[in-house]
Homo-oligomer: A and B are copies of this chain.
Amino acid sequence: MLSHTEENYLKALLKISTQNEGKDEAGTNEMAANLGVKPATATDMLKKLKEKGLVDYEKYGKITLSAEGKKNALAILRKHRLWETFLSKKLDFSWDEVHEVAEQLEHIKSEKLVDKLEEFLNFPEFDPHGDPIPKANGEIPVIKNTLLAAADVGTLYKVTAVKDTSSVFLKYLEKLNINIGTKIKVIEKISFDDSFVIEVNEEFKTNISLKFAKSLLVN
């Protein structure tokens, strides 16, 4: 049985190793930063997880999830995203509020609970941030989407997911009336400061920064 803490390390490793296309590994400092602990602490835990056969790791080397570790990490991610969906769909939490609570709920141990919850939610494929929810067998629904920053000028897209789930960003989106499913068209790219003019929902135009455009996924 994995401890709350061990689970968080595995999830962090999964997150880091999937965030940059085909990266699939992490470093000690990166792990530590992600978990809000000191590198020395991460080193200790990594040794322990290696002992348990959950990560592949050699001193001074890169860290990757073992098959067993990945299975566990996916199970936690699955729970996290199902709970986020529950909070959002059933309890009216806004998309910037769900993460913190799901961070706790993801550690509840009960296979039955997860599967019943999934059923209760009608087998959702994506969480409130547009992220895919792993199935019980570990499969992850795929959607091919692009960064808004890489979108073609003049084409009508729909928002599929947010890459940045920070509260500031989500609240800003809310203010702009942008949500999953919102229609977006890039009207113009401003080379001067790499900003964009976009049209939201065919209703109004606004200027957004490159940082913003790199934080939204569309299709």
Residues of A within 8 A of B (CB): 87, 90-93, 97, 100-101, 104-105, 108-110, 112-113, 116-117, 120
Return the contact of A91 from the options B87, B93, B97, B117 (Cβ within 8 A).
Answer: B117
Q: What are 20 sample pairs from A and B whose C-beta atoms fall under 8 A apart?
A: A87-B113, A90-B120, A91-B113, A91-B116, A91-B117, A91-B120, A92-B116, A93-B112, A93-B116, A97-B112, A100-B110, A101-B108, A101-B110, A101-B112, A101-B113, A104-B108, A104-B109, A104-B110, A105-B105, A105-B108
Copies in the complex: 2
5 tightest Cβ-Cβ pairs between the two chains A and B = A91-B116, A101-B110, A104-B108, A101-B113, A91-B120
**How distant is the Cα of A90 from the Cα of B108 in the complex, in angstroms?**
17
